[in-house]
Amino acid sequence: MIKKLFRLFCAMLMVGLLVNTYALAASATDYSGPKPLTPQLSSDGKTLYNGVPTVVLIADPNPPANQVNIPPPAKLSTLPEKVSSTFNITYVPNGGTDSWGERCYAFPAGAQTAFAAAAAIWGNLLASNVPIAIRACWANLGASTTLGYAGGQTSYRDFAVAPRANIWYQSSLTNALRGVDSDSALFDMHITYNSNFSWYYGTDGATPAGQYDLMSVVLHEIAHGLNFSGSMISVDGITGAATWGMGSPVYPNIYDYYMRDNSGNQLINTAVYANGSAALGSAVRSDSIWFHGTNAIAANGGTRVKMYAPAAWAGGSSYSHLNYATFSGGANRLMVYATSIGVATHDPGPVTKGLLKDLGWTVSGGAVPAAPSGLSASTVSATAINLSWTDNSTNETGFKVEMKTGAGGSYSQLGTVSAGATGANITGLTEGTTYYYRVRAYNADGDSAYSNEANAITLPAAPSGLSASSASATSINLNWTVNSSSETGFKVEMKTGAGGSYSQLVPTVSAGATGATVTGLTTGTTYYYRVRAYIGALNSDYSNEANATPVVPSAGGGGGGGGCFIATAAFGTPMEKHVQILRDFRDSFLLTSSAGQAFVKFYYEVSPPIAGKIAQSEGLRFITRGSLMPFVGMAYLMVTYGVTTTLLLALSLMLMLGAVVWIIRRKMMMVNP
């Protein structure tokens, strides 16, 4: 008997523990709102009453850290008398009930002010000729975590101007599209707020710690009444099937139309997911469902918009909110499923505005602009690059241009250009440098995604101070100032006479060179020159023009005035050290006697043609250099040590050579007597 009683006690204890665990779990789950209303379909099947599922906003139990207050969109007024679309708000009186039978209490005056301010923000953003009618209830939902809920409104399909066939549109959007009130006797939104919270009624966005900002919650629930919600329902919330659609036959609403899985398949595509299937249930609980509207994607920086799809279906929260992990900490946090205490969010955010535009609303500044494309960069000069792109948006305020130096640099914004622009000229750059660019459009709602990246290199700086002077009867020396720092080299161009045509001389001159000698010219002919630096296929501007005439140097006077034609042709330049030695010998010895002057004069008369031939053949230049080396050596000794010393050295060498020859001959005679 004792054993039986003990077993009974244990069984009761286990049941108690299970019940207690279930109760604790239930209290910890998010309140999913009231029970759904009973939908009613019109006789023609095109109007559905009470068909929109309820969506809720809860108090965030673990709010993100370091959140800041978000003010209303720039230049938008929160004053009801300044709006462009009208919201007519009816506050349910004390003792009345909302559409779900929840008792309503007197709506506080301060709460009405916050409500009107939130409606004014939407009124400034949305374009509608038809007043949007809201029925608002101030209810006591007890210890629930729900701040507010909305739903139950009327939906319409296949009206005259419906953007898509066989798609339901909630009444506020239907009326805006049609331009007339589909049923003035009905409310467009039913919204209930939980009075059992410490609310901040102010409209200044300075919400104190410990209070919830009512204006933010009103903004959130109005968005749901603007069709920011779908018809998807998960049957058991954990492992079961999911269904979508309203009416008979079943049709999706416009929000459902844009919802896709991770692979990009529409969730309402019955070829992929049968309506009411377990596969659809798994998809909507996969933490990987996405809104694929063009404007929402553009507002999200060019990427699809992730929606809230936890592994356990949260009725009133799943599917009809932005993904919490992605958006709860930024500018788009208004439409996540939970809101933080002590924080104001008075701007719907660019993603929400883009999403509403996709649904069919005309949104004033309601989405960030589309990104520009086809960006290209072209070189203009050593200090300028031109940019051009395709403008893909119609609502931009302008474009932001960003630049970085070199592939490994960091981008920084250069400035902005006006709306409608398709290019920009970037000046003040450094010569011979590669710059990278990207562009994005912007407006009051944010920045578009970036364009493609483009790059260009500025031209090298042009050389300057070009001068030309006769080097010999058949050559001219050129000199210039280098102003570039990264050139591949220099291209020298020449023309004959002032009326001639320039052509480039080959080969080019190496990087860093400050001059060149042009040989093989005709004595007495005037030649014109210009020079430019180059990097790859890019050429700098030209230098100034310079000209000179090759002439036979004067035989008199000495002074190093050139004239060593054959040596210059052999060694390539009159400044070469071997040529300088011969010139010094001429000036120091040959020109100091009448016989030497006569020799120099004869040399000047006969050597230019010979030098011209030598200059044109590398083989002749090589042979000539070798032939001249003994003369160069003798000239060096005479210039450096004088005639007497040189003769003594020469005599000594001859004596030494004679002695060596004599010794060798003596030994040979001894071997062969």
Q: Is residue 211 part of a domain?
A: yes
Residue 299 and residue 425 in one domain: no
pLDDT at 573 over 50: yes
pLDDT at 465 over 90: yes
Average pLDDT of the chain is: 87
Residue range(s) defining the domain that contains residue 522: 464-548
Average pLDDT over residues 193-210: 96
* Confidence class for position 660, pLDDT limits 50, 70, 90: low
Q: Is residue 646 part of a domain?
A: no
Structure tokens at 372: 């520009």
pLDDT at 10: 47
Q: Is residue 98 part of a domain?
A: yes
Residue 580 and residue 490 in one domain: no
Residue 121 and residue 224 in one domain: yes
> Which of 416 and 584 is assigned the larger pLDDT?
416
Q: Is residue 303 part of a domain?
A: yes
pLDDT at 485: 92
* Confidence class for position 237, pLDDT limits 50, 70, 90: low
Rounded CA gap, 539 and 462, in Å?
Answer: 9
Most confident of 4-13, 22-31, 33-42: 33-42
Q: Which amino acid is at 236?
A: D
Rounded CA gap, 85 and 576, in Å?
Answer: 88
* Confidence class for position 673, pLDDT limits 50, 70, 90: low
Structure tokens at 670: 């001894």
Pairing of strands 242-243, 189-194: unpaired
Domain closes at, from 401, 430, 457: 457
Domain closes at, from 457, 478, 508: 457
Residue whose entry in the numeric block shows the structure tokens 């101030």: 138
pLDDT at 154 over 50: yes
Convert the pLDDT of each residue in 280-308 to its tens digit.
999 999 999 999 999 999 889 889 999 99
Structure tokens at 110: 């301060």
Residue 337 and residue 388 in one domain: no
pLDDT at 131 over 60: yes
Domain closes at, from 359, 391, 426: 359
* Confidence class for position 14, pLDDT limits 50, 70, 90: very low
Q: Is residue 90 part of a domain?
A: yes
Average pLDDT over residues 24-47: 71
Residue whose entry in the numeric block shows the structure tokens 């494309």: 373
| Residues making up the chain, counted from first to last | 673
The alpha carbon dihedral of 429, 431, 433, 437 has a sign of positive
pLDDT at 556: 43
Q: Is residue 667 part of a domain?
A: no
* Confidence class for position 84, pLDDT limits 50, 70, 90: low
Q: Which amino acid is at 399?
A: F
Q: Is residue 32 part of a domain?
A: no
Residue 487 and residue 544 in one domain: yes
Residue 260 and residue 160 in one domain: yes
Pairing of strands 212-213, 199-200: parallel
Contacts of 362 (CB under 8 A, 6+ apart): 126, 127, 128, 176
pLDDT at 246 over 60: yes
Q: Is residue 48 part of a domain?
A: yes
**Total domains present in the chain:** 4
Residue 306 and residue 335 in one domain: yes
pLDDT at 553: 62
Convert the pLDDT of each residue in 542-556 to its tens digit.
999 999 998 866 544
pLDDT at 321: 98
Residue 325 and residue 270 in one domain: yes
> Which of 569 and 69 is assigned the larger pLDDT?
69
> Which of 100 and 78 is assigned the larger pLDDT?
100
Rounded CA gap, 514 and 325, in Å?
Answer: 64
Contacts of 256 (CB under 8 A, 6+ apart): 230, 231, 232, 244, 245, 267, 268
**Looking at residue 495, which CATH number applies to its domain?**
2.60.40.10
pLDDT at 20: 39
pLDDT at 584: 81
pLDDT at 81 over 80: no
Average pLDDT over residues 507-536: 93
pLDDT at 120: 92
Contacts of 11 (CB under 8 A, 6+ apart): none
* Confidence class for position 343, pLDDT limits 50, 70, 90: very high
- The DSSP code for 104 is -
Residue 383 and residue 332 in one domain: no
Convert the pLDDT of each residue in 595-630 to its tens digit.
877 787 788 777 777 877 787 788 888 998 888 888
User: Which residues face 64 on adjacent strands?
Assistant: none
pLDDT at 13: 42
Residue 584 and residue 524 in one domain: no
- The share of the chain scoring above pLDDT 90, in percent, equals 63
Contacts of 525 (CB under 8 A, 6+ apart): 496, 497, 549, 550
What is the signed CA dihedral for 275, 291, 32, 34, rounded to 10 degrees?
Answer: -70
pLDDT at 566: 86
> Which of 643 and 323 is assigned the larger pLDDT?
323
Rounded CA gap, 426 and 402, in Å?
Answer: 11
Rounded CA gap, 384 and 426, in Å?
Answer: 5
> Which of 108 and 576 is assigned the larger pLDDT?
108
Residue 437 and residue 479 in one domain: no
Residue 482 and residue 445 in one domain: no
Average pLDDT over residues 13-25: 37
* Confidence class for position 334, pLDDT limits 50, 70, 90: very high
